[in-house]
Each structure stands twice: as structure tokens, then as C-alpha cells.
Structure 1
């Protein structure tokens, strides 16, 4: 690919996103004929067609799709580094996490981080939507599953526990769970209907559903919610039991707002991913703080907590 112009790759990247010469030209501030010439030069340099053209639309060839994936990631990484080096963003980091984790765990603890890092700015993004794109300018991603993220490195994995919890009000009104034979008299606040939570599309709920189905001899009543935050709020207001990670209800349990179902729990994991080639001391500072908070959780004594901590990946 000797002699290939970076401008040609930039032009192709814009066309691959817009699938339009006109929109790509407008974005880059050049003429449509210039974009067309860049694509032609690039195809000649590579020796294959990158686009399928007809009178109505533009589509990527197989080769074009492969190049587009790399080119878009390359442009995104460059933009991210440039923004991180600018004075206004030097102390800014962007963190993506499920909304239930952000609301229940991260937000209540951020003031503590700001108190010792007053110049920092942590931008929080929720990742609940199935269409959420991890190609955004994210620094850290927190997930309950370990599935690889292109462009990100796994930097920390933490063992936790899934619990079935209910409020004191619910337990007063309906009685404490005593065993498998009376579970059918209780209400479980679920995200989606089962069967028996096995096919909810959530690895967390499926794991607990599989565990409960082997432990209990009868199914509970179900109250279905579209959002885990609603199920969590319903549990706090005494409407039933809900399956949640211990880290999310740690404060609720210690304060007595929620109580765990005796002898019912199973393992879960929380994973932290860092964007490859991310720069900046604030990113290291925030991750070290996050690691310390995970490791100092009462989970360390309530359950066995194990952590995998790779500091060299952040250097």
C-alpha cells in the first residue's frame, strides 16, 4: 500500500459511515469529485474494489467492510487522543456502565472521588440499550459480563454474589422466606417472563434463574418489569423479592432497607474495560479509586471477594 494517502483513507472512512459521497464531502469540507478521486486512488493502490456503486445507492464490498471497520476505529482513536490532550479535557474521563450500577453504586460514591480530585470531571453514560455503541469516546466500561469489546482491554475482574432481596415491609406483610416449599407464596420482581428466568437475555438473571430452578421445588409468582431499576424500586417499596448483585444493594442491606433471602445466592462477576491507547493520569487515578472501592467493599467479609488487578495495562 506504498504511497497510499491518509487523506484517501479518511475520505473512505467518511463514505463508509454515510454511504454517501455528498454527505462525506460535506463532513470533510471538500468537493464530491475530490472524495470520488480519493476513493479511486485508494482502490487502485490496494488493487480491489471497496464500494459497490449503482444509480440509487452505495454499498461496501467485503474488502471495503474490512477496511471500514479498521479505518473507523483508527479515526475514533485519533479523535479520542486529540481530545484527551486538549486542556479542557485533560482531567475528563468518560465511563459507561449499566444504569442500575451507575444509580445504585457509582453515583453515591462520586462525591468522595471529587473531594480528593476537585479538578476532575467524570462523564457517565448508561449502556442499557441493545443498540448502545461501544465505539464512542469512552475511557472505561463497566459490565456484568466478560464478553470482549473491540478496542478495549480488560483491566479488572471482581467476584461478587447475586442475592434475592426484599424489604422489611414486605417481610412483615408476607413473612420471611423459610424454604423451597413456601416460595410459591412469594412474589418475584422479574425483568422479563421466564420460563423460570432462563431465557431473559440477561446473563445475571439467567444465572440466578438456573440456580433457583435447581434449588426450589416450585415457582414463585411473578411481577414483570421492563427495567431493572423499576424492579429494584418496587422491592424497596415492599412489593416483592428481586434478584440483584450484592454490590448494588450493599448499602441497603447494611442500613436494613433490604434483607437477603437466607441461603440463596450464586456467584457473579463485575468487569472493567479500558479503551486501548487511552492516555491521561486522571484515567489511572480514577481506576485506582474504583479498584480500591471494589476491594474495600463489605463483600470482602460478607462473601469471599477476589480481584484481578493489572496495573501495567493502565501505564
Structure 2
């Protein structure tokens, strides 16, 4: 246990000095503990050179489990010692556009039904699972297989969306002619070409147009705001922006909705299913999104 605690401190600080200060022990003791743990496992956990300390892949894997395990032990001990001590907050990631467009009311509904479950919400514009310490994450991604439990919440359906003023230019025109005269707006995806989504959409529609121009935004929410206020055509999630479409703020000039291959998935580590709060929230959220999908 001492070796694991020493490794956790060093791994979090990426420094033997910082880890030793956090635990109020000597740096040499920290070094001996980590070395003993590496000998026991037969694997290096840290890469060391003169200027830096870095976790190896084995170290990254072990640090995540050790940190979570110590948190669980501390939480359980606190609960046994004093029932009035609040449980640890569940850390949840939600993509920014989903959070602001749809998830806030869902979160409020869950909070009313389960006030005992504490949730810390984080939001970052990333594709896939964020590189931070989380218990659960709703991620925007293509289908993939990894070591996490993955539940599909919904597949994204897209179509060209624009303001009512821009939509007037589509009257009586085929979609290819309309789009050729408009600025195409983009959402940037990690490690992907800026025009990936438009390029794929137009190929599937049999339309040949250049797609590399136009403005690109970090989030679909920013893209939609620009389309409404300043023009251009976005390739928008028709379910995400259903309220704006129903109110007439965004217009779909053509009946050309397709699934683009991306979706929103709930991901968590398998060992976290033992946490009652996580299990309750997962079941509730899957059911809530199932009801949401039935509307479309």
C-alpha cells in the first residue's frame, strides 16, 4: 500500500520531489517505493531522464486504477465513520453543444429525481473520450471498440441548415446549385480535415463541389449562431437543433437528412459499474435518451 501511494503521488506530480512533499516523506523513500513496485510488476512505470519524468503506458494504466481505488476506499471509510459525510461527486463529461442544447434540462430532471447523487459536469470540445480523470463521459465519435463500456445514445442525423434569409435563395433551385452559391460552414474535429463532414455528405448526395473554404468553428453551437446571425450554410444535427428548426430560426431548405456516421455514446470504465450512483445515472440516462429518440 505504501508503494502504491508513493507511485500515485509521483505519477500525479510527475516528480519525485513533488510526490515526496505531498506525502511528507523523503525523496529517497519515494524512489525506493516506486522501484520496488516496478520490480514486483516486472515493468517500468516511469521513464526517467535528466530533465523530465513521464509515465509509461503501464504506468498510465496503473495510475488510473490506483487513484480511483484510493478514492473509493476513502469514500467508504468516511461513510462508515460518519453517515453525514457526503459521497464523492461523480465526474461527468458532456460535449459543449449537447450540454447547452439538450442536456441541461435532462440534468435538472435527474437532479430532482435523485438529489442524493452529486455530479460535477465538465465540458470540452474533443472527439472521443477526454484525456482527463472522469467517471463517465458522453462522447461524440464514430463507432469504435475499446476497453470501456459503451452505450449508444443516438446517431447523428444531418442536413443543410441556414437562416430564413439564406433559405430564400434555395427556392426553385436544386440543392447542388444552391450550395454552390453559399459559404459552407464547418465544425472542426480532432485530427480530421476541416471539411470532412461536408465532403462526405456531398459525395453521398452525388454532388461535386469544393468544400475546403468557409469558416470553421470549435462547436456546433457556435456554427449555428453564426448561420442564424451572419449567413452561410451549416451541416447541422437536425435533432440537436430541432427547437430552432421548429421556431423557424434555422431552415432545412431540402428534405435531405442522412446519418453521418457519428453518434453520441456514453462511456465508463467497467469497474465503475459497482458504484451505485454511476449505475443509477447510467440506467436513467439510457432510458431518457431512448425516449428522446422516439420523438424523431
Offset at 1:117?
A: 3.0
Offset at 1:104?
A: 1.1
Q: Does 1:15 align with 2:10?
A: yes
**Cα distance in 1 between the residues matched to 2:57 and 2:34:** 15
**Cα distance in 2 between the residues matched to 1:28 and 1:161:** 51
Closer, same or farther: CA 272–131 of 1 in aligned 2, 3 Å:
closer
Aligned-residue CA RMSD in angstroms?
3.4
**Cα distance in 2 between the residues matched to 1:76 and 1:147:** 26
- Structure 2 portions without partners, runs of 5+: 80-84
Give the SS at the match of 2:209: coil
Closer, same or farther: CA 261–93 of 1 in aligned 2, 3 Å:
farther
**Cα distance in 2 between the residues matched to 1:134 and 1:25:** 25
Equivalent pairs counted in the alignment come to: 281
Match of 1:189 in 2: 185
**Does the 8 Å CA contact 2:17/2:27 hold for their aligned counterparts?**
yes
Q: Does 1:210 align with 2:200?
A: yes
- 1:32-52: CA deviation from partner (whole Å, max 9, x where unpaired): 121122234335545676666
Offset at 1:259?
A: 2.3
Match of 1:153 in 2: 149
Match of 2:109 in 1: 112
**Cα distance in 2 between the residues matched to 1:50 and 1:111:** 42
Give the SS at the match of 1:100: helix
- 1:252-288: CA deviation from partner (whole Å, max 9, x where unpaired): 2233322224232321422111233224443333333
Pick the aligned partner of 2:62 from 63, 71, 81.
Answer: 71
Offset at 1:116?
A: 2.8
Match of 1:308 in 2: none
- Structure 1 portions without partners, runs of 5+: 1-5, 303-315
**Cα distance in 2 between the residues matched to 1:108 and 1:266:** 27
- 1:135-164: CA deviation from partner (whole Å, max 9, x where unpaired): 4133333333334555x3113353331222
**Cα distance in 2 between the residues matched to 1:115 and 1:144:** 30
**Does the 8 Å CA contact 2:95/2:123 hold for their aligned counterparts?**
yes
Closer, same or farther: CA 46–72 of 1 in aligned 2, 3 Å:
closer
Of the structure 1 ranges 140-149 and 103-112, higher mean CA displacement relative to structure 2 is found in: 140-149
Q: Scaled by the length of structure 1, what TM-score is found? A: 0.73
Pick the aligned partner of 2:232 from 233, 237, 240.
Answer: 240
Match of 1:277 in 2: 271
Match of 1:95 in 2: 92
Give the SS at the match of 1:186: coil
Pick the aligned partner of 1:123 from 120, 129, 137.
Answer: 120
